[in-house]
Amino acid sequence: MFEDRVLLGFVIVSTIAMAWISWPFFGAILWALVVTIAFAPVHDRLLLINPARRNSVASATLLMVVALVIVPAFAVGTLMVEEALRTYNSLQSQEINLGRLLLNVQSIIPEQWQGYFERYVVSDISGLQQRLSSVLTGGLQIIAQQAVNIGQQAFNFALALGVMLYLTFFLLRDGRYLTRRIGEVVPLRAEQRSALFEKFTTVIRATVKGSVIVAIVQGVLGGLLFAILDIRAAVLWGVVMGLLALIPAVGTGLVWFPVGIYLLVTGSVWQGMVLLLCGFFIISMVDNVLRPILVGQDTQMPDYVVLISTLGGLSVMGINGLIVGPVIAAMFISAWEIFAESRGLHRH
């Protein structure tokens, strides 16, 4: 009927308009949803103890989020920025001498390779040092610039954080009711709707448990190991290792392995050996041990799909893409599976 078409058009237009005005807070909304799903089991257990006090239970869960996630993130972020700035200044002032490192490398390579090393490396050692310095300082400069941007946009950051925590409270308190209401109006059969919602929740929870928690553990272990070995900017490198651990097939070895080699060639033999052995047998093994325990086969997505969707999400949406990419991939796979089943093309 004409009235139904008008109503449908109004629903579509109003939904698009709402998405448009909410877009500046997309990150806050996304992470409120992620935190809610991650802490939902804790909230549900507290609610079983006090079923009549929904507001108090949601508030208690939110306080746990602040204590366990927000405060540590601020503390680590502050230390990381300070160490990044110090390291950047050291490279700029030549306090960290990359040329001396190359000479140390030359002293330990086999004699038959000395000629090649002198011809292609030592002959242009100043130029090579400048290129290496530019690569390292470029990355550290990005961190420093981001720190300045955060300071300049402190109000926007605080506003987004406030919106995220505010939404988290209501999603914790009313999440199941909202999910049920949304499910009632989605034009899918009950089993199809249930399958999509379950996949959506499972992928977010698996991403948090299997990627974020594993990355945090690897970053903490790496940072502690650097601190124990008295390696400069331990917090900074711990954060970098944690970020690299978020990306499938990349891993923390991009940090601890070259640093271990650096220690060996600069004469810190026992520190280098300890770092390389602990990096291989402890830091790298965390992923193999923890991920199956925390996630199991929850996502049921091929590794190459996880890799492509994560890297694609990061390149398109930044840190938000870490969640959005795998969720889109999971929804894509689920949609095609449901479509195949509806056409009688069941998977064998």
Query: Residue 195: which domain range?
Result: 191-348
The answer to whether 330 and 199 have CB atoms below 8 angstroms apart is yes
Q: Output DSSP code: residue 94.
A: T
Query: Does 227 fall in a domain?
Result: yes
pTM of the shown model = 0.69
At 189-218, the pLDDT tens digits run 777 777 777 777 777 777 777 778 888 899
Integer Cα distance of 146 and 49 in angstroms: 44
Q: Are residues 204 and 291 in the same domain?
A: yes
Integer Cα distance of 177 and 204 in angstroms: 19
Q: Are residues 119 and 248 in the same domain?
A: no
- Reading the chain (348 residues) residue by residue, the pLDDT tens digits are 677 788 878 888 888 998 899 888 888 898 898 889 888 889 999 988 888 888 999 999 999 999 988 898 888 877 877 777 777 666 666 555 555 665 665 565 656 555 665 555 555 555 555 555 565 555 555 555 555 555 556 677 788 889 999 999 999 998 888 877 777 777 777 777 777 777 777 777 777 777 788 888 999 999 999 999 888 888 888 888 888 887 766 678 888 888 888 788 777 888 889 999 999 888 888 877 777 666 555 556 777 777 788 888 888 887 788 788 888 887 788 778 777 777 665 544
Alpha-carbon 204 to chain mean position: 12
The answer to whether 249 and 180 have CB atoms below 8 angstroms apart is no
Reading the block at residue 106, the tokens are: 């030359």
Q: Are residues 209 and 346 in the same domain?
A: yes
Query: Does 332 fall in a domain?
Result: yes
Domain C-terminal end among 138, 157, 185: 185
Q: Are residues 247 and 169 in the same domain?
A: no
Q: Are residues 83 and 206 in the same domain?
A: no
Q: Are residues 154 and 35 in the same domain?
A: yes
The answer to whether 125 and 102 have CB atoms below 8 angstroms apart is yes
Q: Are residues 91 and 134 in the same domain?
A: yes
Reading the block at residue 320, the tokens are: 């938000």
Nearest Cα to 221, choosing from 251, 262, 266? 251
Q: Are residues 243 and 341 in the same domain?
A: yes
At 109-153, the pLDDT tens digits run 656 555 665 555 555 555 555 555 565 555 555 555 555 555 556
Query: Does 197 fall in a domain?
Result: yes
Domain C-terminal end among 185, 216, 238: 185
Reading the block at residue 66, the tokens are: 């602040």
Query: Does 9 fall in a domain?
Result: no
Say which residues have a Cβ less than 8 Å from residue 196's Cβ, sequence separation at least 6: 188, 331, 334, 335, 338
